[in-house]
Structure 1
Amino acid sequence: MSTSNNAVGGVDNTFRRKFDREEYLERAREREKQEDDKFKSKSKGPPVQRKPLKHRDYIVDLESRLGKTQVVTPIAPLSQQAGYYCSVCECVVKDSANYLDHINGKKHQRALGMSMRVERASLDQVRERFDMLKKRKVPGSFTEQDLDERIMKQQEEEEERKRERREKKKEKKKEKLAEEEPETEMDPDIAAMMGFGSFHSSKK
């Protein structure tokens, strides 16, 4: 009886796959070590050098599409949708104020490869900048005398315009009066032929 019970109670597990726990623990340790090495190499690598901020050398176009109508479809590319398109960040901004905030912001400047720090200018650089601005100002610069002459010229032009307006008004008034007054003067020969010559009052 005991022999039959043992035969029934035992299960043949030889067909199942057997795993070596030590081998898999070793693999897990190696994987963790590789991940740690990757993280350390990333953190210890040289930091990305970004250029300092510099002023824009182009004019921001905010007015070219003002007052124009445009058909907008949901399948149109971003550059043809309503609003201001930023080709650097590939996004559309709905109004000009937000567009200016975007192109002056950290995300856009980083995409251009610049940090938000400004390079400290040397004394020579400041002098060069002043010289450049002075040279740029010379052709279109105005002295006080030029300004007075321009003001006088403007005043003369304004007076001339006023005088022309007054003359036009006078001419219009004369034309109106001429239209309103009936023609009372008649040629004397025609008046005699028609018999109007005898209509004189007897009172003197």
Structure 2
Amino acid sequence: MSHSGSKTVGVDNTSRRKWNKEEFLERAREREQEEEEDRFSSKAKAPPVQRKPLKHRDYEVDLESRLGKTQVVTPIAPLSQQAGYYCSVCECVVKDSANYLDHINGKKHQRALGMSMRVERASLQQVQERFESLKKRKDTGSFTEQDFDERILKQQQEEEERKRQRRERKKEKKKGKALEDEPEIDADVAAMMGFGGFGSSSKK
């Protein structure tokens, strides 16, 4: 069917849309002004973080307490009970001791502790006071050769004890393995083959 009498309605796309440049310039200026005000207000609210200078650790890093121990690891176990070295400050697990030392000496860990990576510069007075305190400790006999010798002897004894325990553990493992590997001999089969007299002192 043809509609010869109906008029075709089209879209007039021959003229371009005209933009009000002044209106959009005014909007852009207002937006820039709001962003600038927000930036200044956020700076005023949050002063720059002042971190403490880096200082030495006052505790000993434990790297050997879990050596040689067996541990069952499950996927649902908390981080502190998983295999590796757990950092309670950053709440993460590091798989080996070298990476753990790198982590606790690194920037992220020190920032979590509230310290920067800058070392405080000691004044002349602080150095002199440090020398005086060390001199007093030496005069009072805190550092004596006897104490030093005793510490070395104690360390040697502890090392010997650790070696002895390792040797005993190895012996026990070998003994257990030898007992497992020893075949069980049936008494009837041994008697038929003429091995019945082995291990007995009486002769028939």
TM-score interval w.r.t. the shorter chain? Answer: 0.5 to 0.7
Residues 27 and 120 of structure 1: CA distance in aligned 2, closer, same or farther (over 3 Å):
same
- Alignment of structure 1 residues 1-204 onto 2, 5 Å: 9=9, 25=24, 30-42=30-42, 46-133=47-134, 135=137, 138-142=141-145
Secondary structure at 1:61's aligned position in 2? Answer: coil
Instruction: Give the paired residue count.
Output: 135
RMSD of aligned residue pairs (Cα, Å): 3.8
The worse-fitting range, judged by mean Cα deviation, of 66-75 and 44-53 is 44-53
Cα distance in 1 between the residues matched to 2:58 and 2:41: 38
Residues 95 and 131 of structure 1: CA distance in aligned 2, closer, same or farther (over 3 Å):
farther
Cα distance in 2 between the residues matched to 1:61 and 1:142: 28
Residues 29 and 78 of structure 1: CA distance in aligned 2, closer, same or farther (over 3 Å):
farther
Runs of 4 or more consecutive aligned structure 1 residues displaced over 2 Å after TM superposition: 7-11, 24-47, 127-134, 136-140
Per-residue CA deviations over 1:114-172 (Å, capped at 9, x if unaligned) read 111111111222233234446179335117xx97xxxxxxxxxxxxxxxxxxxxxxxxx
Gaps of 5+ in 2: 12-19, 150-204
The one-letter code matched in structure 2 to 1:38 is D
Flag the structure with larger Rg. 1
Cα distance in 2 between the residues matched to 1:101 and 1:10: 73
Residues 31 and 76 of structure 1: CA distance in aligned 2, closer, same or farther (over 3 Å):
farther
Pairwise CA distance, 1:77: 1.1
Cα distance in 2 between the residues matched to 1:49 and 1:138: 41
Pairwise CA distance, 1:113: 1.2
Gaps of 5+ in 1: 12-20, 148-204
Q: TM-score, structure 1 length as denominator? A: 0.52
Contact 2:137 2:143 in 1 (8 A): no
Pairwise CA distance, 1:41: 4.5
